[in-house]
Amino acid sequence: MRSELVHQFSEEQMAKVDAVIEAHRKVPGSLLVALEKAQDITLYLPVNLQRYIAAGMGIPPSKVSGVVTFYSYFSTVPRGRKVVKVCSGTACYVKRSGEIMDRLKQKIGVGEGEVSADGEYSIEEVRCLGACGLAPVVVIGEETFGLIDPEHVEEIIEKT
Protein backbone atom coordinates (compact mmCIF):
# COMPACT_ATOMS: atom_id res chain seq x y z
CA MET A 1 0.00 0.00 0.00
CA ARG A 2 2.86 2.36 0.86
CA SER A 3 4.65 1.84 -2.47
CA GLU A 4 1.46 2.84 -4.30
CA LEU A 5 1.24 6.02 -2.19
CA VAL A 6 4.87 6.94 -2.88
CA HIS A 7 3.87 7.38 -6.53
CA GLN A 8 1.25 9.89 -5.45
CA PHE A 9 3.22 11.64 -2.71
CA SER A 10 6.95 12.06 -2.17
CA GLU A 11 9.00 9.78 0.07
CA GLU A 12 9.52 12.79 2.32
CA GLN A 13 5.77 13.39 2.63
CA MET A 14 5.16 9.71 3.40
CA ALA A 15 7.90 9.70 6.04
CA LYS A 16 6.13 12.63 7.72
CA VAL A 17 2.76 10.86 7.49
CA ASP A 18 4.37 7.78 9.08
CA ALA A 19 5.65 9.98 11.91
CA VAL A 20 2.14 11.38 12.45
CA ILE A 21 0.70 7.86 12.58
CA GLU A 22 3.39 6.74 15.01
CA ALA A 23 2.82 9.76 17.27
CA HIS A 24 -0.95 9.27 17.44
CA ARG A 25 -1.69 5.57 17.07
CA LYS A 26 -1.74 4.85 20.76
CA VAL A 27 -3.43 8.07 21.83
CA PRO A 28 -7.19 7.60 22.30
CA GLY A 29 -9.34 10.19 20.51
CA SER A 30 -6.48 11.53 18.40
CA LEU A 31 -7.79 10.52 14.96
CA LEU A 32 -9.06 14.00 14.06
CA VAL A 33 -5.75 15.64 14.96
CA ALA A 34 -3.80 12.95 13.12
CA LEU A 35 -5.89 13.48 9.98
CA GLU A 36 -5.45 17.26 10.17
CA LYS A 37 -1.69 16.84 10.43
CA ALA A 38 -1.63 14.31 7.60
CA GLN A 39 -3.61 16.65 5.35
CA ASP A 40 -1.25 19.51 6.20
CA ILE A 41 1.50 17.33 4.73
CA THR A 42 -0.24 15.87 1.66
CA LEU A 43 -2.83 18.68 1.11
CA TYR A 44 -5.60 16.09 0.59
CA LEU A 45 -6.63 12.66 1.83
CA PRO A 46 -7.48 10.26 -1.00
CA VAL A 47 -9.14 6.95 -0.09
CA ASN A 48 -5.90 4.93 -0.39
CA LEU A 49 -4.16 7.29 2.06
CA GLN A 50 -7.15 7.09 4.43
CA ARG A 51 -6.82 3.27 4.37
CA TYR A 52 -3.08 3.53 5.01
CA ILE A 53 -3.65 5.79 8.03
CA ALA A 54 -6.43 3.51 9.31
CA ALA A 55 -4.14 0.45 9.08
CA GLY A 56 -1.28 2.31 10.74
CA MET A 57 -3.46 3.51 13.60
CA GLY A 58 -5.17 0.14 13.96
CA ILE A 59 -8.68 1.45 13.40
CA PRO A 60 -11.37 0.53 10.85
CA PRO A 61 -11.13 2.40 7.51
CA SER A 62 -14.82 3.27 7.84
CA LYS A 63 -14.04 5.31 10.96
CA VAL A 64 -11.42 7.34 9.07
CA SER A 65 -13.67 7.90 6.05
CA GLY A 66 -16.50 8.88 8.40
CA VAL A 67 -14.38 11.68 9.87
CA VAL A 68 -13.03 12.80 6.48
CA THR A 69 -16.49 13.04 4.92
CA PHE A 70 -18.07 14.70 7.97
CA TYR A 71 -15.71 17.69 8.18
CA SER A 72 -15.60 20.04 5.20
CA TYR A 73 -12.05 20.92 6.24
CA PHE A 74 -10.89 17.65 4.68
CA SER A 75 -10.57 17.08 0.97
CA THR A 76 -10.32 13.79 -0.92
CA VAL A 77 -9.28 15.54 -4.13
CA PRO A 78 -6.04 17.46 -4.78
CA ARG A 79 -5.92 21.03 -3.50
CA GLY A 80 -3.43 23.86 -3.84
CA ARG A 81 -1.42 25.13 -0.88
CA LYS A 82 -3.92 28.01 -0.79
CA VAL A 83 -7.57 27.12 -1.32
CA VAL A 84 -9.65 29.94 -2.77
CA LYS A 85 -13.28 29.63 -1.59
CA VAL A 86 -15.85 31.75 -3.37
CA CYS A 87 -19.17 32.03 -1.55
CA SER A 88 -22.19 31.41 -3.74
CA GLY A 89 -24.82 31.84 -1.02
CA THR A 90 -27.76 34.12 -1.78
CA ALA A 91 -26.29 37.35 -0.35
CA CYS A 92 -23.04 36.85 -2.27
CA TYR A 93 -24.76 35.60 -5.40
CA VAL A 94 -26.81 38.79 -5.78
CA LYS A 95 -23.58 40.75 -5.38
CA ARG A 96 -22.04 39.02 -8.41
CA SER A 97 -20.18 36.07 -6.87
CA GLY A 98 -20.53 34.28 -10.23
CA GLU A 99 -18.51 37.00 -11.92
CA ILE A 100 -15.99 36.91 -9.06
CA MET A 101 -15.57 33.15 -9.55
CA ASP A 102 -15.03 33.55 -13.30
CA ARG A 103 -12.47 36.30 -12.85
CA LEU A 104 -10.54 34.39 -10.18
CA LYS A 105 -10.47 31.23 -12.31
CA GLN A 106 -9.02 33.25 -15.13
CA LYS A 107 -6.49 34.99 -12.90
CA ILE A 108 -5.25 31.74 -11.31
CA GLY A 109 -5.57 29.76 -14.54
CA VAL A 110 -7.58 26.87 -13.13
CA GLY A 111 -11.11 25.51 -13.22
CA GLU A 112 -12.96 24.22 -10.18
CA GLY A 113 -11.35 21.08 -8.78
CA GLU A 114 -8.02 21.80 -10.49
CA VAL A 115 -4.70 22.86 -8.98
CA SER A 116 -2.55 25.61 -10.53
CA ALA A 117 0.60 24.43 -12.30
CA ASP A 118 2.80 25.71 -9.45
CA GLY A 119 0.68 23.85 -6.88
CA GLU A 120 -0.14 27.12 -5.15
CA TYR A 121 -3.89 27.56 -5.71
CA SER A 122 -7.10 25.65 -6.18
CA ILE A 123 -10.57 27.15 -6.28
CA GLU A 124 -13.89 26.01 -4.83
CA GLU A 125 -17.44 27.29 -4.72
CA VAL A 126 -18.86 27.14 -1.20
CA ARG A 127 -22.20 27.80 0.43
CA CYS A 128 -22.84 30.66 2.84
CA LEU A 129 -19.75 31.32 4.94
CA GLY A 130 -21.79 33.03 7.64
CA ALA A 131 -20.50 36.50 6.86
CA CYS A 132 -23.39 37.76 4.71
CA GLY A 133 -22.96 41.32 6.00
CA LEU A 134 -19.62 41.31 4.16
CA ALA A 135 -21.03 39.93 0.89
CA PRO A 136 -19.54 39.18 -1.53
CA VAL A 137 -17.02 37.08 0.37
CA VAL A 138 -13.93 35.14 -0.73
CA VAL A 139 -11.64 33.15 1.61
CA ILE A 140 -8.06 32.44 0.57
CA GLY A 141 -6.24 30.08 2.90
CA GLU A 142 -6.92 31.47 6.38
CA GLU A 143 -7.76 35.00 5.21
CA THR A 144 -11.29 36.32 4.60
CA PHE A 145 -11.96 39.09 2.11
CA GLY A 146 -15.35 40.83 2.22
CA LEU A 147 -17.20 43.60 0.40
CA ILE A 148 -15.23 42.70 -2.71
CA ASP A 149 -15.50 44.81 -5.79
CA PRO A 150 -15.90 42.26 -8.60
CA GLU A 151 -14.09 44.65 -10.96
CA HIS A 152 -10.93 44.43 -8.84
CA VAL A 153 -11.13 40.93 -7.39
CA GLU A 154 -7.85 39.88 -9.04
CA GLU A 155 -6.00 42.22 -6.66
CA ILE A 156 -6.75 40.03 -3.66
CA ILE A 157 -4.70 37.20 -5.18
CA GLU A 158 -1.71 39.52 -5.24
CA LYS A 159 -2.23 40.27 -1.52
CA THR A 160 -1.98 36.59 -0.52
Identity of the residue, 81 or 127, whose beta carbon is nearer to ligand FES in the bound complex: 127
Residue 148 to residue 10: CA distance in whole angstroms: 38
CB nearer ligand FES, residue 12 or residue 142: 142
Site for ligand FES in 14-53 (CB under 6 A): none
Q: How far apart are CA 54 and CA 25, in angstroms?
A: 9
* Residue 87 lies near ligand FES (rule: CB under 6 A): yes
The DSSP call for residue 150 is G
Choose, by CB under 6 A, the member of 129, 138, 140, 156 that binds ligand FES. Answer: 129
For the bound state, the minimum distance from the C-beta of residue 140 to ligand FES, rounded and expressed in Å, comes to: 15
- Give the DSSP H/E element, type plus range, for residue 85: strand 82-87
| Of 63-71, 83-91, 101-109, 110-118: span binding ligand FES (CB under 6 A) | 83-91
**131 contributes a contact to ligand FES by CB under 6 A:** yes
Sheet containing 82-87: which strands, arranged edge to edge?
121-126, 82-87, 138-140, 143-145
Residues making contact with ligand FES (CB under 6 A): 87, 89-92, 128-129, 131-132, 135, 137
